[in-house]
Amino acid sequence: MKIYKRPGLLLLVFYLTISAVWGQKNVKGSGYVLTQQRETADFTSIEISRGIDVAIVRGEMEPITVEADDNLFSYIKTTVKNKVLKIYIPDSVNIVKYASMNVLISMPTLGSLKASNHSRIDAWPQIWNLRTIRLEATTGGQIRIRLKAEDIQAEARTSGILEIKGEAQNLQAILKTAARLEARELETQNADIQLSIGAKAEIQVNQRLTYDLYGHSRLVIKGNPQIENSHNYSGSRIIKEK
């Protein structure tokens, strides 16, 4: 059997990677923090990334408040498309040091939240009364929320963290690659949990629970639910608390 080597392809991938890094503009914050009001179209969902911290309060829709070093405002983008507010730093810019990159948002309801690349969304201490919500945290992103909901869809991967408190009828969660779900203070009636590659979930379930655990993941269960159609593989652990 002949083995064909393709050094040209490897060199091309290496060149593109290095070029992307070299092509970034490094920006250092001034350390002088100001606030800026920004008008936006209406939105019901939020997606953030690149180290930005967002605090959400329940109230009337108002202009969002951006708090940042005064030379960073032009790099903090806020756009709305299909009712989704996206707050991000362009990939061509690397913020190397800053005093603040915070955003305050007032809105009456929530449809979905997504935090990625070490950004954070804080949506408590108020309680959100919702029919359904989708939460997603990836690549070190974090979301904290307190709510009453019929259905929660939660997804986290690559060290993403979801912290949920309150009450829910149904919880569906998928966690991968060292992600974490902290829902011990979320009183849930029914839950469907999928964990893999070192993920961890702490949940409270009263009625019905199904789970699939893979790759040294860990599930901590508070309550005494009926367990149905569940599987535990590859060194994963289940811990039951009273």
The tens place of each residue's pLDDT in the chain, 242 residues long, gives 333 344 454 444 444 444 444 568 999 999 999 999 999 999 999 999 999 999 999 999 999 999 999 999 999 999 999 999 999 999 999 999 999 999 999 999 999 999 999 999 999 889 999 999 999 999 999 999 999 999 999 999 999 999 999 999 999 999 999 999 999 999 999 999 999 999 999 999 999 999 999 999 999 999 999 999 899 998 899 999 87
Residue 26 covered by a domain = no
Q: Which residues of 157-195 are buried (b: 16+ CB within 10 A; e: fewer)?
A: bbbbbbbbbbbbebbbbbbbbbbbbbbbebbbbbbbbbb
Q: Are residues 50 and 82 in the same domain?
A: yes
Q: Which of 76, 109, 142 is the last residue of a domain?
A: 109
Q: Are residues 205 and 101 in the same domain?
A: no
**What is the reported pTM?**
0.90
Which residues form the domain of 51? 33-109
Give me the number of domains the chain comprises. 2
Q: Which of 50, 80, 109 is the last residue of a domain?
A: 109
Residue 67 covered by a domain = yes
Residue 25 covered by a domain = no
Q: Are the C-beta atoms of residues 143 and 162 closer than 8 Å to each other? A: yes
